[in-house]
Structure 1
Amino acid sequence: MDIRVNGSGPTAPFLSARDLFETEYDLSLPVDVEIRDDPDVRTWAGHYDDRHVLNIPRQAASSAMARELALHEFAHMARYEQEHPSHTQSTEEALFLALAGKSVERRKLSHCYQIANHMKDIYADDITLSVGPGEKLLAFLESSLAAAVADRPESAPRADRTRLSANADPEITAVNAAFALALAERHDLVDADHRLYDLAHVATVDAPNVPFETFKRRFRELASDPDSSSYRQVLVDATRTYVGEDASSTEA
């Protein structure tokens, strides 16, 4: 596996991730790691005819999670090379099928894309967690969910509870909680008394209209090797479940 690190930043986390990844998997195409100066750039993988590109901000590349972030992105690259349906299915096509004839607010539509990304992440982390330990990933999931629910006013009556964080929408936070628990349960990372369950409960209280258990089950029980048709249907069904009655018909 050929890896080239470009930009000012550490190389050790990426080489360590490569060594771990290569215990079970390999990539046909080389990987260019682009360490970005912009701290607002998210970590993501791009796929091209002649290479993969791992884009990562310098802050993340220098963090304690750098190796795990790189390993996760290598797993996405592997799924892409495998032509796994989760990484070849057009999200736009699935959403069109799910929402044809419906009017959906922009906020909800962006959440549907995030649900699709969660499914991709499940399949990538099936690889990630087959070659590396899950402790840091579990801690990351816990801290991310805790941050999303941290600002809720505990003393307010349930009917009056509002989320104070401008960045955390309560409905997608509940879906994110379902994803976090589903991934943890899928790989036996948590005991029944883990704090992640308490955080998920808080998230579900804030979003009573989101079918949390349904999403957790969907994420946790994703088939390991679906065909294209069945995966498309799972994505369509998840989209329709999330939008639910909030989608109004545009037909006359």
Structure 2
Amino acid sequence: MDLRIRGSGPTSPFLSARDLFETEYELSLPVSVQLRDDPDERTWAGHYDDHHVLNISKQAASSAMARELALHEFSHMARHEQEHPSHIQSTEEVLYLALAGKRVERRKLSHCYQIANHMKDIYADDITLAVGPGEKLLSFLESSLAMAIADRPELPARPGLERLSTSADPEITAVNAAFALALAERHDLVEDTHRLYDLSHAAAMDAPGVDFKGFKRRFRELACDPDASTYRQILVDATRAYVGGEGLAAE
């Protein structure tokens, strides 16, 4: 992998991630790592005709998750070069097919994009977890879900549960929990007694209108190499399951 790191900051996490990645995979295009000053800059990959870009804040690049974040983004790049359906399917096209004629709340529409991103992440992390350990990723999923559950809007009180703020939507939190648990189960990262099960149960209980088990099954059982039509239908069905509706997508 031709790796170029731009901006002042640590380089070892990216070099280490490259070495792990190249034990099983390779990228045809060079990768430019852009270290950004904004600590709130999320980590994301950009894809161009002649290169990929890994955007990451200096703060994230100095964190304990830096290598894992880089490895995850390299995996997205690999899926993009493979032209995997999850990474080339237009989310806007899927939303048009799934939601035509429906009135959908803006927040739910944004959640549909998140569901599509979860499916992309499943396929990227099939690569990530094939070449690297999963302990840090599992801890990240657990802590992120715990924070979201603590950050929910006010609901009818349950013993021992304190509401801290009103910023986390319980419906998408339940879907996020289904994704986290599905990914962990897909790669045998958890025992039956792991705390992630308790957290996921709490998230599901707070969003009774969300088919938690159904979403967990959808994420966990994604076929490794679906064709474009099959994948589009999977994403249409998941979108309709979240907002309501049924039927086949148009070809």
- Measured against aligned partners, the alpha-carbon deviations of 1:219-251 in whole angstroms (never above 9, x if no partner) come to 000000000000000000000000027x9xxxx
C-alpha spacing 1:18/1:176, structure 2 compared with 1 (3 Å)? same
Measure how far apart 1:166 and its partner are: 3.3
Amino acid at match of 1:104: V
Structure 2 match to 1:129: 129
Q: Matched residue of 1:167: which SS? A: coil
Query: Which residue of the partner structure matches residue 119 of structure 2?
Result: 119
Q: Classify 1:39/1:145 alpha carbon distance in 2 versus 1 (closer, same or farther; 3 Å).
A: same
Contact 2:75 2:127 in 1 (8 A): yes
Counterpart for residue 182 of structure 2:
182
- 2:39 is aligned with 1:39: yes
Question: Structure 1, residues 36-60: CA drift from partner, whole Å, max 9, x if none?
Answer: 0011211000000110000001110
Matches within 5 A, 1:156-235: 156-157=156-157, 164-235=164-235
Indicate the residue corresponding to 1:73 in structure 2. Answer: 73
Q: Would you say 1:90 and 2:90 are equivalent positions?
A: yes
Question: Do 2:39 and 2:57's aligned partners in 1 also have CA atoms closer than 8 Å?
Answer: yes
Matched positions, count: 244
1:250 corresponds to:
none
Distance 1:25 1:87 in 2: 17
Q: 1:10 to 1:42 in 2, by over 3 A?
A: same
- Structure 1 residue 157, shift from structure 2 partner: 3.8
Say whether the 8 Å CA contact 1:163–1:170 is kept in structure 2: no
Residues 155/172 of structure 1: CA separation in 2 closer, same or farther (3 Å cut): closer
- CA distance, structure 1, for counterparts of residue 49 and residue 155 of structure 2: 55
SS of the residue 1:217 aligns to: helix
Mapped partners of 1:130, 1:157: distance in 2:
42
The percentage of counterpart residues that share the same residue type is 81
Contact 2:153 2:165 in 1 (8 A): no
C-alpha displacement of 1:152 = 5.5
Contact 1:162 1:206 in 2 (8 A): no
Matches of 1:108 and 1:155, distance apart in 2 = 19
Q: Partner amino acid for 1:129?
A: L
Kept in 1: contact 2:151–2:168 (CA 8 A): no
Match of 2:242 in 1: 242
Q: Distance in 2 between matches of 1:35 and 1:166?
A: 32
Aligned residue identity for 1:218: R
Q: Is the 8 A contact 2:89 2:228 kept in 1?
A: yes
Q: Aligned in 2, Cα 1:153/1:222: closer, same or farther, shift over 3 Å?
A: closer
State the AA in 2 paired with 1:39. Answer: P
Q: TM-score, normalised by structure 1?
A: 0.93
Q: SS state of the match for residue 189, structure 1?
A: coil
How many angstroms apart in 2 are the aligned matches of 1:178 and 1:157? 23
- The code of the aligned residue for 1:101 comes to G
Runs of 4+ in 1 over 4 A off after TM superposition: 151-156, 161-164
Q: RMSD of aligned C-alpha atoms?
A: 1.9
Deviation at 1:78, TM superposition (A): 0.0
Contact 1:123 1:224 in 2 (8 A): yes
- Following the alignment from structure 1 to structure 2, what is the Cα–Cα distance between the partners of residues 153 and 93? 32
After superposition, the Cα gap between the structure-2 partners of 1:12 and 1:93, relative to the gap in structure 1 and judged at 3 Å, is same
Q: Which has the higher contact order (CA 8 A, sep 6+)?
A: 1
Q: Contact (CA 8 Å) 2:152, 2:170: kept in 1 or not?
A: no
> For residue 29 of structure 2, what is the amino acid of its counterpart?
L
Q: Which residue of 1 is the match for residue 148 of structure 2?
A: 148
| Structure 1 gaps, min length 5 | 248-252
- Retained in 1: the 8 A contact 2:86–2:123? yes
